[in-house]
Structure 1
Amino acid sequence: MKIIVPMAGRGSRLRPHTLTIPKPLIPIAGKPIVHRLVEDIAGVLNQSIEEVAFIIHESFGKKVEEELIAIAQKLGAKGTIYYQNEALGTGHAIMCAKDSLSGPAVIAYADTLIRANFDLDANADSVIWVKQVDQPEAFGVVNLNEANEIIELVEKPKEFVSDLAVIGIYYFKDIAVLKNELQLV
């Protein structure tokens, strides 16, 4: 299993905190957000992690890169650093890690903090984790059919679609399928 962590954003909404430190490295209760995220995801997956790929901005520097590699190594995984130096969206960020996009993988946004009990259905082709929220207009939400399958993802809907907000964690049985689709865009 691989964990792919896009985290190249500048964190402008959290200024002044992010003027000197990238948002995913802001400590929460003494530990940077991205450290907590990767450890929590590994705990939920309950299987060995082969690789943790971090997509960062080049300006984060070598010290940050070393800290990120150490997170992966602590899990017994290979740590890989990729660069996204232009803010061209999530799809672009994921494609920056194209050399790591094979096999089963979880994509998790580095500013996502989770505390949940859920199991991964490794037989599913893909999974998007969601959370019921009070103000769905502030989030990307999913619309489900009668079989509880996602049929639509709507970013910050002006009219009510659903109250199931995407939390920024995705599983792919074979992430190469996503890679192939992203190459078509």
Structure 2
Amino acid sequence: MKIIVPMAGRGSRLRPHTLTTPKPLIPIAGKPIVERLVKSIAKVVEDPIDEIAYVIGKDFGEVIEKDLLSIAEDLNAKGTIYYQDKPLGTGHAIMCAKDSLSGAAVIAYADTLFEADFKIDKEADSVIWVKKVENPSAYGVVNLNEDNQITELVEKPETFVSDLAVIGIYYFKNVVVLKDELQKVLDQNIIHGGEYQINDGIKAMQAKGLVFKPGKVDEWMDCGNKNVTVETNGRLLKILHKNGEKLISDSIKIENSEITEPCYIGENVVLKNVKIGPNVSIGDGSKIEESTIKNSLIQTFAEVKNANLDNAMIGNFAKFDGKFTAISIGDYSVLE
């Protein structure tokens, strides 16, 4: 089994944090989004992961590439790096990894997290992960027949078609079939909104009679902008805490402070005269003093003093001293 992860976009809606770290590498509850994503996929598919292929921008840099390859190694998988030079859509991004498009594969866009306990129907030619939503007109949705097969893909329907939204994760029993159809999309220059879309390849597969079925997830968590990323951090912390995962390091130094779980607190964090939580993640080496913090995400080696934070996101090595609340400051920023 292979996992293909198109992730070349830097994540402009999550700036300033993505100016220095691509969105899929932003830690949520202590681990990068893309790491949590591929490990969740590995749990659902059950089969061993042979390869994880990442499609990234050339400007991501050597350090980030090494981090991505390390994530693959943790799953005993081969890591492969491909590049997408221009933002030409989902279909184009997948075809940038065409040398890895063989056998069974999951394609997953690295700006979403999920929780699910379903198992992939290996009789289906493809499975599309979906989640029931309240406002389907804002999403791409699928329509099902009486046999629980996907018969239709509709992008942001103006009239009701279905409330099952596509979350951006797909399984293909033989991904070569998708590769062949997407090559035709590129060759024939089939473009929507200036981009080549995966849906055109999927619709061509359906026209040939291939069977697509839904995989319904319990939780779908977005990481598109600062507010939803902070919200996702809190939702994930609750799930991890409920599952009994250890979230608070034994190496923290705590003085006259109170922690309300769920919280993630990394290695060698210093807490002095603070109230932390609920729904707070603090990265390794950070120092928090004289503050009250809830529903917030603080990355590594940050320094926070005299703060009352709620719905805040603070980058790596940032320094903050003040009375603002719902702030968002990027890596190495200083507010004193």
Matches within 5 A, 1:19-168: 19-168=19-168
Alpha-carbon offset, residue 91 of structure 1: 0.3
Identity over the aligned pairs, expressed in percent? 72
Question: CA shift at 1:159, angstroms?
Answer: 1.8
Structure 1 residue runs without a partner (length 5+) = none
Tell me, in whole angstroms, the C-alpha distance in 1 between the residues paired with 2:17 and 2:137.
Answer: 26
Tell me the amino acid that sits aligned with residue 71 of structure 1: I
Question: What is the DSSP-based 3-state SS (H/G/I as helix, E as strand, rest coil) of the residue aligned with 2:112?
Answer: coil
Amino acid at match of 1:93: A
- Measure the CA separation in 2 of the matches of 1:86 and 1:122: 34
Q: Which amino acid aligns with 2:16?
A: P
AA aligned opposite 1:64: I
2:20 counterpart letter in structure 1:
T
Q: How far is 1:24 from its partner?
A: 0.6
More strand by share: 2
- CA displacement, residues 32-88 of structure 1 (integer Å, 9 cap, x when unaligned): 100100111111111111100000011111111000001111111100000001000
Deviation, structure 1 residue 123 = 2.1
Look at both structures and tell me which one has the larger radius of gyration over its CA atoms: 2
Q: TM-score, length-normalised on structure 2?
A: 0.54
Letter in structure 2 aligned against 1:167: I
Q: Give 1:111 deviation, angstroms.
A: 1.2
Shift, 1:10, TM fit: 2.2
In 1, distance between residues paired with 2:181 and 2:109?
20
Q: Distance in 1 between matches of 2:151 and 2:15?
A: 36
Measure, in 1, the Cα distance between the counterparts of 2:95 and 2:168. 17
Kindly state the Cα deviation for residue 90 of structure 1 after the two structures are TM-superposed: 0.4
Aligned partner letter, 2:178: L
SS of structure 2 residue aligned to 1:21: coil
Q: Which whole-Å CA distance do the structure 2 matches of 1:109 and 1:52 have between them?
A: 13
- Counterpart residue identity of residue 128, structure 1: I
Once the two structures are superposed, what CA deviation does each residue of 1:114-145 show, in whole Å capped at 9, x if it has no partner?
A: 11111011221111011100111111111112
Partner Cα separation in structure 2 for residue 149 and residue 123 of structure 1: 12
Higher helix content, 1 or 2 = 1
* Number of residue equivalences: 185
Report the more deviating stretch, 10-19 or 68-77.
10-19
Q: What secondary structure is seen at the aligned counterpart in 1 of 2:106?
A: strand
Could you say which residue in structure 2 is the equivalent of 1:169?
169
Say which is worse superposed, 129-138 or 172-181, in terms of deviation: 129-138
Larger deviation: 145-154 or 47-56?
145-154
Secondary structure of 1:146 counterpart: coil
Partner letter of residue 169 of structure 2? I
Q: Name the amino acid aligned to 2:126.
A: S
**Counterpart residue identity of residue 89, structure 1:** G
User: For residue 137 of structure 1, what is the amino acid of its counterpart?
Assistant: S
